[in-house]
Structure 1
Amino acid sequence: MTTTQLPPPATAPTPASDLAPDLVAHLTPERMARAQHAQVAKMLGELAHECLVEPREDAGRWLVAGDDPSVVWEFSARRLPLDHWQVDPSSVRRTVDGAGSPVDAQQLVLDLQRRLGLSDAVLPTYLEEIAATLAGRAWKLRPEAPTAAELADAGFQDLEGAMTEGHPCFLANNGRIGFGVDDYHAYAPETAPRVHLEWVAVRAEHAVYAGVAGLEDQRVLLADQLDADELDAFERVLRARGLDPRDFLLVPCHPWQWRNKLAVTFAPQLASGDLVHLGTGRDAFQPQQSLRTFFDLDRPERHYVKTALSVLNMGFMRGLSAAYMAVTPAINTWVDDLVAGDDELRALGFSVLREVAAVGYRHPVHEQHGPSPYQKMLAALWRESPVTRVAPDERLMTMAGLLHVDAEGRSLAAELVDRSGLEPRAWLATYLRAYLRPVLHCFYAHRLVFMPHGENLILVLRDHVPVRALMKDIGEEVGLFDLEAELPEEVRRIRADLPEHRQVLAIASDVVDCYLRFLAAALDDAGTLPADDFWAEVAACVAGYQADHPELAERFAAHDLFAPTFERMCMNRLQLRDNQQMVDLADPSSAFQLADPLPNPLSAHRPATR
C-alpha cells in the first residue's frame, strides 16, 4: 500500500511576531512569578480577614493548612487594626509534606476549596477569573509602567489608566470573562486605549429614553454630544433604508458588545430594521476603572458614556437595565437637589456627577420571560464630566489612586503626602474632610448612602492634597434608608429596607473596612503614617462632625461608629458563593455574608462627651 506525499509548502509560515504585536509579551516567567506572589499574598490576607482561614503562628511565621493537611502555606505578615493582614509577598511559600512547591494562586484556591465553600459549579469559572487577574497583574508590572513619583503630577486620564487596585477587597477583581487577549489590549482600563464607540438606532416603540430637565428630547442631548455632521450622517443611514429617524432612538455601544452580542443575539431585529447599525463614532474615548464607562478624550467637556457590556466581571454580568435607565435621570435629579441644597455639603465642596440622560432597549422577545442578562444587553447613559468643575490650580484624580502601589512598591498616597509639604496627619485630615465628612453627613442627616469606594469618587487635588470630592454612579448604587420620605414615583426604587442595626455598615463596612483599611495599610507600609495614628485621625473626623451636629445625637447613638465592634461583612464570600450574580440588587439583605465581629479601631477614641 502506498501513501500520497503532500508537497512541501512553497514558503515557510510567517512568524506571528511579523504579522502583529505579541499580545502576550507581558506574560513572562519573571513577571508571572511576581504576580503570583502578590496575588497569593493578597488572597491569604483577605481570606484571613474574612475568617475563611485561621492562620496559626509558628516561630514567627504564619501557617495555613490546606483541605489536605499535608499541604501548608507559610508567610510573614504584619497585623494591623481592623484585623488587616499585611502579607509580605516575598515570604509566601507552599509545601507538600514539607517539600517546597511553586507559589500559584489557582492552586491556593484548589488547596482550600472545601474551606472556601466553593462548589464544583462555581470553581472552574472562579479559577478562570483568578487567571485573568494574574494576567492583569503581569501587565501592570511592565517596566515602562509609570512610577508613583510620575503619577503624583500626572493628568486625570494618565492616572485613570495606570491604576493597580480598584476593588481592594475582592480577590478575583479582573476576571472580565468574555474578553480575549486582543480585547484586553483594546479595552482594558489599564492599557489606556483610545476607543471609538459604535452607534445603533432602535425603534422608539421598543425602547425607553429619559433625560433631566432640558434634555427630555434625545435630539437635544445628541446635538451637544455629537458633531452636527456626524449626527446627520447617522440619520442618512436610516433614510437610505427608507426609515424615518423620528421613529428611532440612538444608542452608543461598546465595540465588543456590538461585535459579540448585538450583531449575533439581535440578528432578527437587525434583519427587520428594528435595530440599525449606524457606524462608528468620531470621538476617541478612554475606558475608566469601571470598565464599561468611557471618558471623551477629544472633547473632555462632553459627558461620560456608560454602556452595557455582557462580560462577567467581579460577580456580575455588566449589563444595563432598560427599566433602570427609565428612572436614572429622575433619581440623579433628586439626589443632586438634596446635595446641592444642603449647606454643610455645599461648604465642603461635595457634589455629584449627574447621569443626565439614559436610553435602553426592550428586546421584544426577551421582555416576555423572567429577568435575565439578555434584557440588559443594549442600553447606555450619559454622565456629567468633572473637567468643568476644577480651577486652574486644581486637578482631578480617581480615588482609587490613593490605594495605588507602583511596580517598585511605592505608594502614590505616600508620594502625594511627601509632595504636599504637610504633616501626614494634616494631609489625612484634609482628605477626610473632603471625603468622609460629606459621606457621614449624607448618612446621618439624610439617611442617604452611596457606594463610596475608590472607583466611584473623583478627588479634586490642590498642591497634592485632596480638597473636595465628586461622587458618581448614582443611579444604580444610591440608597435611602428613610422609608417615610416623600419621593416622586420614579425615585422610589432607591428606598432600601434594611434593618436599623445593619444600616451603620454603610459607613463601617463600605467606607471604614472596605476602603480606609487599605489606605491605612498603604501609608503604614510606606512609613508615612503609623496605622494607629491614621485611625486616631479618622476618629477625630467623626467626633468633629458629631460635635458640630448635636441635633443628630439620637442618630449617632443609634448608629454608633465608636462601638467596640461592628459586623464583619465578607465580600469574597459573596463571590465564592455565586460568581455569576453575587447579590440581588433589588434585595439589599442578599449582600450580607457575615463572620466574627471586627474590633473597631475608632472605639479607643470615643469622645468623652457626646
Structure 2
Amino acid sequence: HPYHPCFKARTGFSLSDHQHYGPESGNRFRLHWLAVERSCTDLAIPIKEQAFWFDELGHEQAYLLRAAFNRTGANWSRFTAIPVHPWQWQHLRNSELESSLATGQVRHLGPLGDRYRPGQSLRSLFNVSRPGKATLKLPLAVGNTSSIRTLEPHSVPSAPTISRWLANTVASDDRFAEKYRLELMAEYASTLFSGHQSIAGHLGCLWRESINGRLRHGEQALPLNALTAVEDDGSPLIAPWLERYQPRHWLARLLEVVILPVWHLLVAHGIGVEAHAQNTVLIHCDGWPVGIALRDFHDSVEYVESYLAPSTGQPDFGPRNTMYQNAADNRYYRMATPEALRELAMDTLFVYNLSELAGFCEDQFGLCEAHFWKQVRTVLANHRRDHPELEARLYQLGATAPSILSESLMTRKLRGPAAPECHHRIANPLTGNCGQTAAALITPTQSVRA
C-alpha cells in the first residue's frame, strides 16, 4: 500500500523475521501444521475432508499428514488439521496456545507440505512448489500499515459464502463476460480455531484460488500497484507498453478495463469491493489490458440491503444467517446507506489506487493529471450513457458531489488499530470542475469524526 503514510511500518518483526518472512527477501518456507479438536474449529470446505487434503497437499504430503496424526495420537474422527505460519507458531506456542498444547487439545505436527513465499501483505502466501494451487491467507499478529494482520473471526467461516455470492452475481450478468471482464479469485475453503477467545482470529486459514486458473492463452497478470514500479536502471516497468501502444491510447484502455467492472458491480448490483491496487490484478496480453481479477473478499465486501438489485439478493450464510441479520448495520457486510459503498469503492479504486498512477504517468510520461481524471470521467460518463436504467441508482450514490469523505489513514495509524475509523473531506476529481492532482486527493481539508 504505497499510498499509506506508513506503508512499511511493520511492528512485531525482527531483522531476522524480515529476512525469513518478508516479501523483499524472496525466501521460501514450509508451513507448520496442527491437529486441533473438531469441537474447537469451524471448517468450511467444498468437498469431503479427506479428499480435500489429498487435493490441496498432494498424495505424498497428505499421507505424511496422516502419519503425523498417528504419531501424535490424534484420531481423525476427533481432530482436524490447521496450517499455521511458522512465525505465528513461534509466537503462539509458549503463550496463548501453551495450555491447549499441554492438554492435547492442540497437537503440533511439525512442518510439511509445499513451500510458500509471502506476498506484499505478509500473510498471503503463494505456492512456489505448485504455482497453480491455492494461495493461503494465514493470520499474523504483526502490525502492517494501520492494522494487526490477524483474521476477522466472523469472516473466516463466511468467506466461501461471500465468494460464491459474488461469483453467482457476476455469472448472472452477461455484461461482465461481454464488456467488463471480471475474474474472481474465490476464497473457496476456510478453517478457524475457535477454542479460546483470547486468540480469536490468530489461528486459521483461507484457501484462495490462484490467478493462474483465470488466465487464457497468451495472457499474463500482475498486481495493479506494479504499474508504478521502476526498474533498477530507473525506467518504468510499463514504459515498453506505452511505447508500443501510445500513451494516451493505452491509458484509455487501462482505465476502461480497471474501472468498469468495479463500477458496474457497485451501480448495477449494489456491491462494494475493496479494489485497491494490491487486491486488483491486471490481466494483459503483451501489455495490452484485457481484464482484471479481484481478491480478498472475506472482510472487504459491503452491501446495503435496500440498494441491492432485485436480481442480486443477499448472501445466504446458512446457520450463521441469524447472527448477521441481528447485527447492527456497518458491523459486518451490511452497511446502513449507499454512501458507505461509495466511500469504499472510491477510496480504494480512485483515491488509493488510480491517484498513484495519475501522478506517476505525469512524472514519467508527461500525461498531465488533469487529462487523466478527464479520461476517468469519460469512462464513467460512457457507462452512464450505456445504462440509462441505472440513473436513479447513480443519484443515490452521490459519487459526483464536489467533496467526499475519505478514510484518514494517518489518524488511524496514530490512534492504533482499536480506534474507530476517522475520515476527512477531500475534493472530488469526478465532478469535472476541479482539475485535482493526486496530492489534492490525499490532503485533508476538514477533519471529521467517523
TM above 0.5 = yes
Q: The residue matched to 1:454 in structure 2 has which SS?
A: coil
Q: Is the 1:332–1:354 contact (alpha carbons within 8 Å) kept by the matching residues of 2?
A: yes
Q: Aligned residue for 1:550?
A: 388
2:31 is equivalent to residue 203 of structure 1:
no
190-199 or 449-458: bigger deviation: 190-199
Deviation (angstroms), 1:415: 4.4
Of the three residues 272, 275, 280, the one matched with 1:452 is 275
Which residue of 2 is the match for residue 402 of structure 1?
227
Residue 174 in structure 1 maps to residue 8 in structure 2: yes
Give the match for residue 316 of structure 2: 488
Determine the C-alpha separation between the residues in 2 that align with 1:486 and 1:198: 37
In structure 1, the partner of 2:126 is 295
Cα distance in 1 between the residues matched to 2:304 and 2:108 = 42
Which of 410, 414, 418 is residue 581 of structure 1 equivalent to?
418
Matches within 5 A, 1:301-316: 301-316=132-147
> Residues of 1 paired with 2:117 and 2:380: CA distance?
37
Per the alignment, in what secondary structure is the counterpart of residue 176 of structure 1?
A: coil
Q: Does 1:422 align with 2:259?
A: no
* CA deviation profile, 1:537-593 (whole Å, cap 9, x unmatched): 1111101111110000112223344443333442222212x22335xxxxxxx4342
Q: Deviations over 1:222-279 (max 9, x none)?
A: 1111122322222222223333123211111111011122354311211222111112
2:424 aligned to 594, 607, 610, which one? 594
Pair 1:258 & 2:89 matched = yes
Q: What's the CA shift string for 1:94-147, capped at 9, x where partnerless?
A: xxxxxxxxxxxxxxxxxxxxxxxxxxxxxxxxxxxxxxxxxxxxxxxxxxxxxx
Match of 2:188? 356
Q: CA deviation at 1:331?
A: 1.3
Q: Cα offset for 1:501?
A: 4.2
Alpha carbons of 1:274 and 1:436: their partners in 2 closer, same or farther (altered >3 Å)? same
1:336 to 161, 167, 170: 167
- 8 Å CA contact 1:286–1:294 kept in 2: the answer is yes
Partner letter of residue 344 of structure 2? A
In structure 2, C-alpha distance between the alignment counterparts of 1:408 and 1:601, rounded to whole Å:
35
Q: Secondary structure at the match of 2:81?
A: strand
The partner residue of 2:213 within 388, 406, 429 is 388
8 Å CA contact retained: 2:146, 2:409:
no
Equivalence for 2:298: 475
Q: Which residue of 2 aligns with 1:526?
A: 364
CA contact (8 A) 1:340 1:351 kept: no
Secondary structure of residue in 2 paired with 1:412: coil
Structure-1 separation of matches of 2:316 and 2:411: 36
| Cross-structure match for 1:411 | 236
Query: Contact 1:321 / 1:360 at 8 angstroms: preserved in 2?
Result: no
Alpha-carbon distance in 1 for matches of 2:94, 2:51 = 28
* Letter matched to residue 255 of structure 2: L
> Which residue matches 1:45?
none
Structure 1: which 5+ runs fail to align? 1-166, 583-589
CA distance in 1, matches of 2:213, 2:361: 31
Which AA in structure 2 matches 1:473? D
Structure 1 residues 503, 177: closer, same or farther in 2, change over 3 A? Answer: same
Q: Distance in 2 between matches of 1:438 and 1:179?
A: 37
> In the alignment, which residue of structure 2 is the partner of 1:375?
200
Matched, 1:192 2:26: yes
Identity score, percent: 26
SS of the residue 2:11 aligns to: coil
TM-superposed CA distance for 1:334, in Å, is 1.0
Q: Report the CA distance shift for 1:444/1:330 in structure 2 as closer, same or farther (over 3 A).
A: same
What SS does the corresponding residue of 1:200 show, helix, strand or coil? strand
Residues 528 and 341 of structure 1, relative CA distance in 2, 3 Å threshold = farther
Q: Name the CA shift for 1:503/1:266 in 2 (closer, same or farther; >3 Å).
A: closer
Q: Could you tell which deviates more after superposition, 542-551 or 327-336?
A: 327-336
Residues 555 and 243 of structure 1, relative CA distance in 2, 3 Å threshold:
closer
Structure 1 CA distance for aligned equivalents of residues 115 and 315 of structure 2:
39
1:318 and 2:134 correspond:
no
For residues 239 and 395 of structure 1, do their structure 2 counterparts lie closer, same or farther at Cα, with a shift above 3 Å needed? same
Q: Matched residues in 2 for 1:458 and 1:500: separation?
A: 26
Q: TM-score, normalised by structure 1?
A: 0.65
Structure 1 distance, partners of 2:168, 2:62, is 32
Q: Does the residue aligned with 1:437 lie in a helix, a strand or coil?
A: helix
1:435 to 258, 264, 270: 258
Q: Which amino acid aligns with 2:37?
A: R
Q: Shift of the alpha carbon at 1:408?
A: 5.4
**Equivalence for 2:328:** none
Distance in 1 between residues matched to 2:151 and 2:340, nearest whole Å? 28
Cα offset for 1:508? Answer: 3.0
3-state SS of paired residue (1:435):
helix
Over aligned residues, Cα RMSD in angstroms? 2.2
Contact 2:8–2:144, Cα closer than 8 Å, also in 1: yes
CA distance, structure 2, for counterparts of residue 298 and residue 533 of structure 1: 44
- Which amino acid in the other structure matches residue 579 of structure 1? G
Task: Report the CA distance between 1:299 and its aligned residue.
Answer: 0.7
Cα 1:263–1:467 shift into 2, 3 Å:
farther
1:193 alignment partner, SS class = coil
Matched residue pairs, number? 419
In 2 relative to 1, CA 568–269 (structure 1 residues): closer, same or farther, beyond 3 Å?
A: closer
Displacement after TM superposition at 1:378 (Å):
0.8
- In structure 2, C-alpha distance between the alignment counterparts of 1:434 and 1:218, rounded to whole Å: 38
Of stretches 376-385 and 263-272 in structure 1, the one that deviates more from structure 2 is 263-272
Aligned-partner Cα distance in 2 for 1:176–1:509: 23
Secondary structure in 1 matching 2:77: helix
Structure 1 residues 496 and 411: CA distance shift in structure 2, 3 A: farther
After TM superposition, the score normalised by the length of structure 2 is 0.87
Structure 2: how far apart are the matches of 1:388 and 1:444? 28
CA distance in structure 2 between the aligned counterparts of 1:414 and 1:229, rounded to whole angstroms: 45
Instruction: Report the 3-state secondary structure (helix = DSSP H, G, I; strand = E; otherwise coil) of the residue aligned with 2:189.
Output: strand
Cross-structure match for 2:447: none
Alignment of 1:13-412 (within 5 A): 167-212=1-46, 215=47, 217-347=48-178, 348-363=180-195, 366-367=196-197, 374-406=199-231, 409-412=234-237
| 2:33 match: secondary structure | strand
Counterpart selection for 1:510 from 324, 348, 352? 348
